[in-house]
A and B are shown apart, each in its own frame.
Chain A
């Protein structure tokens, strides 16, 4: 049954952008981004709410770019894009988020240069023909896709903490060990793939360079994959034949959209998203019995482990190097083999959820996910997805049904 959201929130101000209509008849044409920023400036001036107090950003696909342009780090991001009614839907979502106590102040924003960029299409999303200034100032510089970006974070981590590429290579070695317990993993064995498990640190270091210091084996796979989960209210969850796994905590945050705006190349917003999730759950990193951490690259997993409080700053890699994250270790991590060794379709976060559910519901032991024999005994799991170029994070604290 839905909670009663009556009067749970109110719209406290409304404003338009400045150059509406046919701006070119008066002066230069206007971008969609400018419409957004003008309207945001106007509504915050009107209400007296500082832009820095905005906690949630709701828009048709713009939320991350708007937050970065404004220099704010919201902890509720919504980009629902369902046509002209999107903004009513945004208000509905904001109402729910406020009712739930996640945020107090939500910004719903719209900007669409329907005339200035007529013919460019876009449906309210950032449109072709407009260039955002972050892209304008970085596209000349020869970075191509994720590895070419993420390597910069690894180099800065090495500089700041004295870590080495060999340290991070252990992440890859351990995910192959997990993959060897999962016949559905691409890297299950040398028979399933020439690069399959087992591999050594030397193998990782000697693999082809993609973007120094990242070799091919520091990088996740690119495969086909799909997944789905169902979330239901407790009464339903308890009535089903499947075992529930409880969402004890959830949090989200962002650091930037464009890596140019990454303030600290050795840190992600997972420190904030996990703090929210842990607090909600009344649990901390010391209570986690396993972890599912998006391992787009070895650096991603190791650095995120630090952000989640699972290891001290600069020491995330030790969880893998010392075997704690490995099969039989005290804190199993990425038990399906991870994006490095299981599967990775491009947006891997769903597979984190599928595996966490299987482990915590006890269904990873019956062959559905691997060879006979239980993989972990974990009752709690922290799940962290990372999006973009170490940009955005979502953290869940999941708990098995006691």
Chain B
């Protein structure tokens, strides 16, 4: 029976444009323009899912984004499996392959449905109460089992092969929602010529006009008017119409997040198109035309497949040409149910009966239904339904009790009225007010430059909606600076009304009834659960929500929140506004991680920074390590060498001959101006005024609290110019801190800071042969010890290009750092390498650099310090200018706890067994025989095997360390306790003669 529920001549799809698709392995046909939902309904398929907790059979509740039940997995290939797709919004494409979720072994026979029989066990708060003991079982048994049983779809297990993109966009007027209101507002705003963006989640503009058969505008039926308007808007150069685009988040200052589904509706998206595109829009004015969502009625067994919203059935009928049943019952609290009954009856589908909660309904729709011969049962309620995998009957009775009557149906439509979609308004921090008469929350006080129009603002007729929206669009453009002619509002010839309805539970689902009357379909929350939450002491709606999980599913309670609130208010004996409303948070509908990530994946996940010398290191076999965003050469293994062998060789070679090291990643700041020295005096602990041009000094920078923030060698190039180096990791934050102090604390100083980290490539040449290697390549610099002693800087040329040549050492041997403009870095390195090879030099990496500096007790900020170490703790008192009266941190250094005895201080550690290398981070104790937990007096900060010392060496922070020289301490490890001796921090060349030649 191919598409046997598709009615000839009904709907707007073209019968010739057929598509094939499959659901749970079974093949079906549908039409271009169908959603997966409408196509399944055309084939008479209502059963599409199992509920979250009770595994009850479920069908389509809606025809839109609010769908709580019809979640399916759409699979394009092994890697493209998207779980939890709402079948009501997934557009059909040829070959679409969809699968139901949360059922085993099959959708029609699901073992998990035993939960439904044991329903009394699974009441609200069940998880909190039941799975408490024993504690370990939560992690190992309960949580994994519950997660598996109470499931949504399964996450894809392969990397997402699709790509996603992002755009920032700006406009004067952003209109959200492309129904009658949004179109009217966009047209009016667009008259001004200003930039207008109109975003709508559907494939085509029209909103409720999709199903409203009773609307007529400007002499056209509503839908045709919308399509005509969409065409004219799209043709305007100042207007961008984004369909399939959901505004999911409304952030500060009219910043709105939109996600555009670019290719999920295509059979073959192709490689060029992104799957989704994130739009981050900054709008001067926002017009919210987000419409309203119909509510279901809360009665016993209101969740069987075939029971759905009246407006959904109308959308399937009037747009897709699909009858949701052949003998349809209607249960309504207002006029909306009548409109559905009339549409179905006129289309030739059988209507069993209308059941109306109102005692004495009147009006044109009631009259029309009656004249069409539809049975109307007013003052009555549906109190029960039957049907295993699809509704087969409804049982009705007078709403205040009385004789029951069962009517056979194959579908049951419900309408409790309409809830304005105030999600985005609420996200904008606007305040909602409860309208007691219509029993709904409406926008009241605006927090941003936006305005709500139409159904989301509680406006009930089409005439009023388009008038209000036109005016709002015009005013938004004017407020955004547009000089618009007076917009002409569309003329509404015929209209439907959205008024009326009820909130809360219906007859037969009251406090004394023990029935499953569902409030929240996706989380299986019943009216009874909400009353239980109140009985158990929940008073705030926020607590009721969390206890019952009402509104906490992926649909975020679009259909359930108002009912839940009304039932809780009733149980508490309070008015709805006294109980409050839960907070609306982004996203409005689920957003994929892909859309959020956009371009930021693979090589664009985070910038990878490489130095100018990187290609040489790569070509010469370097193993790299990540240092922040930088790739740094870690060590250069030769054939057959492991890391230790390579590092040992590199360390030995540097001290015997020389080594070349790429230090380009060091932060560098040029400090220039007549007050440069004054500024340096304030930022560093050291004295600078008297440092001569051409000389260098090791500087320490503190935070205001007196702890070490950064360090580095600073060269004075001229009276008014310093070349400051920072740690690699500190480059950006040191620059920021300096700039911060300069602008806020020292604005009187005439000095400017410029980052030159990337202007200069830095080649460290260290070791006894370093001068011989550099000298032949240099012009204009006398490198003799007399002319260029340790800690000096010269400007001149190397290999014909400018250099700032520093004589300085981070190894304790004679050393230089050759700074050259970055583009020359590799060429100069290659020239130095050629010279170096003549002297037996090697290239060394960051690991050997670490070992060599540790042999000399040179600290690394961030490794040997951790933000709680003062210069005194690190043995660097000498670096504090004793005569200085001010520098950042000077007052911090005098704090009582910073001068107290027993502070942790940096010391050297030698293991009693020289072959044992301590673990960095290992804790240190004074007495290994004390009971656990032991008193820990410090920890190891740096530890290496030192080939040059022929033993292991370590630095450690130890309480009162500088007073413990020669003491034996202990490092307890899981398998043994290591004995260590406290020593000074210098392990190699204690006299320091090698620095000078």
Q: Do A and B bind each other?
A: no
